[in-house]
Structure 1
Amino acid sequence: MTEFLLIRHATNTFVSTGRLAGWTPGVHLNDDGKLQAAALGERLASVKLAAIYASPLERTVQTAEAVAAHHEGMQVEPLEGVGEVRYGTWQGAKLSNLRREKLWDNVQTYPSRVQFPSGETIRQAQARAVDALEQLFQKYPSGRVVVVSHSDIIKLIVAHYLGAHIDFFQRIEISPASLTILALGQSRPYIVCVNDTSHLPRREPPGEQDKRRKRFLGLFGGG
C-alpha cells in the first residue's frame, strides 16, 4: 500500500493582491508561508519518504523543498498533472470581479458543468490529477510519497477517492500547508486524514500572550 501525503502549498505573495493566481509565474511564499512550510518540514522530518513531487509552480516547489531539506539526497520532482486548475482568462483577475460573473455560482454549486473561459473544465482538472496519482502508485506500490499541490486539485482528488460527485468537491476544506493522507492499494482506497494543520504555528492577537501569562500567574499566586 502507498500513502500519498497530499500537501497544499503554504501562503503566498499573491494573497494580498485579491487576484486569482492560477499559473501566474513568480508567485512565491510570503513570510507567513515560509514559517508554515518550515513547520511542515519539521512535522515530516522523521517520516521515511519514497519520493517528493510538486506542481511545477514556484509556491508548490518552495513548500516541497522545505520538506526535502530534512531528507538528505532527496530531490523535488515536478509533476505537471497536479498543477493548478487552468483558469484561462480568469487567471490574474480580481476575485471581487469574478464573484459577479454568472459562472462563479456554477463553480460553487454545479462545477461538473464548468469550463473556464479559454481554460479547462473542472472535470479535466480532476481527471489529470487522479491519473497522475495512479501513475505514481504504479511506480511506488508501497511507501510514502509527498505530493505538493493546490487547494482545488487536492479537493478534487479527495472527492474522487471518497466516491463523491464532483459537484460536492467545494464542501471539502484544504488550508494552506495542510496535510491530507490518501492510502492506495490493490483494493479500495482509504482517506486517512483531511486538512490536518496541527503542525502550523498559531498566531495570537496582539497582547494575548501577556493576558494568558497573567492568567497563568494568577492561578499560581502570581509566581
Structure 2
Amino acid sequence: MTTTFLLVRHAAHDRIGQFLAGRTADVPLGEAGRKQAERLAARLACEGIASIYTSPRKRTRETAGAVAAASGLAEVTTTEALDEVDFGAWSGKTFEALHTDPLWRQWNSERSRVRAPSGETMFDVQRRVTQLVAALEKKNGGTKIALVSHADVIKSLVCHVLGLSLDAWPRFEIAPASVSAVVASDGDLKLLMLNREAPNLDETAHLLTARR
C-alpha cells in the first residue's frame, strides 16, 4: 500500500524574488499568484486528494484553500512542520541587502553547516518535514495527501528522498505553484515527479513505469 504526497509550493506573491518573505505572516498572493493557484487547483481537482496540510503562512493557506475548494474538501490542516524556514534576523530583508552579508553568502554555499541568525538550520527543517511525512503515512496510508509549503522546505525533503546533501539545493528548481510528488511505502520514499505544473499523476506514473 503506497501513500502519495503532492509537494506543492505556494503560488507567487507580488514581491517574489525581491525580498526574503520568510515567516512574515501577512504576505498574501498577488493577482498573478491567485491566477496561478486557480490553475493549479483546477489541474489537481481530478487527483483524488484525500487531505491537505499547509504551512501557517498566508500565501500557503491561500494556495491550499484554492486546491481544497476545487477538490471538494471542506478542511485544510495547518501545521508548523510545513512552515517556511525560520530565517531569524534575515526575514523581511531585501535580497540586495542580504547579498552584502557574508553569513548569507555562506548559508547559500554551505547550508549543511550554517544556521540562520537566531533561526533554523536546514537539518532542523528537513527533520520536521520528514517526521511529518512519516506520521501521515502511518495515519493515512494508501491515500493521496497534498502538502502545501515553501521551496526550501520541499527541497529539503527531496534531498532526503534522493540521498543528497542539503548543499545540493541549487541543483534543481521548485517554482511557484509547482507540484512535486513522493510516494511512500512502509517508510521507503521514492521521488515520482519534480517541479511540474500539476500534470495528471496517473499519467506520470504510467510513463515512469513504461521507461523502466
Relative to the length of structure 2, the TM-score reads 0.89
Q: Deviations over 1:43-71 (max 9, x none)?
A: 01111111011001110010011111123
Code of the aligned partner of 2:33? G
Q: Superposition pairs for residues 68-87 of structure 1, below 5 Å?
A: 68-87=68-87
**Aligned to 1:148, what secondary structure does the other structure show?**
strand
Q: Please provide the CA RMSD for this pair.
A: 1.4
When Rg is computed on C-alpha atoms for both structures, the one with the higher figure is 1
Q: What 5-or-longer segments of structure 1 have no aligned partner?
A: 200-223
- How many pairs were matched up? 198
Q: CA deviation at 1:73?
A: 4.1
State the partner residue of 1:43: 43
**Aligned-pair CA distance for 1:107:** 2.0
Match of 1:176 in 2: 176
Which residue does 2:62 correspond to in 1?
Answer: 62
Instruction: Report what 2:25 is aligned to.
Output: 25
Does structure 2 conserve the Cα–Cα contact (< 8 Å) formed by 1:19 and 1:95? yes
Secondary structure of 1:125 counterpart:
helix
Give the partner amino acid of 2:6: L
Gaps of 5+ in 2: 200-212
Q: Compared with structure 1, are the counterparts of its residues 187 and 86 closer, same or farther at alpha carbon in structure 2 (3 Å cutoff)?
A: closer
- Could you give the per-residue CA deviations for residues 170-198 of structure 1, whole angstroms, max 9, x where no partner exists? 32210000000000011632101100026
Q: Given residue 129 of structure 1, which amino acid in structure 2 is its aligned partner?
A: V
Structure 1 Cα separation of the partners of residues 63 and 187 of structure 2? 31
Is 1:9 matched with 2:10?
Answer: yes
- Counterpart of 1:213? none
Q: Return the alpha-carbon distance in structure 1 between the equivalents of residues 47 and 27 of structure 2.
A: 28
Deviation at 1:109, TM superposition (A): 1.8
State the secondary structure of the residue aligned to 2:112: helix
Does residue 128 in structure 1 map to residue 118 in structure 2? no
Q: Tell me the residue number matched to 1:100.
A: 100
- TM-score normalised per structure 1: 0.85
Q: Which residue of 2 aligns with 1:110?
A: 110
- Asked if 1 retains the 8 angstrom alpha-carbon contact of 2:5 and 2:183, the reply is yes
The corresponding residue for 1:52 is 52
Question: How far did 1:137 drift?
Answer: 1.1
Counterpart-to-counterpart distance in 2, 1:191 and 1:107: 26
What CA distance in whole angstroms lies between the structure 1 residues aligned with 2:7 and 2:169?
Answer: 16
Q: Which residue of 1 aligns with 2:204?
A: none
- Alignment partners' CA distance in 2, 1:169 and 1:73: 33
Structure-1 separation of matches of 2:54 and 2:124 = 19
What is the DSSP-based 3-state SS (H/G/I as helix, E as strand, rest coil) of the residue aligned with 1:20? coil
- The percent of aligned pairs where both chains have the same amino acid is 37
CA distance in 2 between counterparts of 1:193 and 1:120 reads: 27
Q: Retained in 1: the 8 A contact 2:40–2:198?
A: no
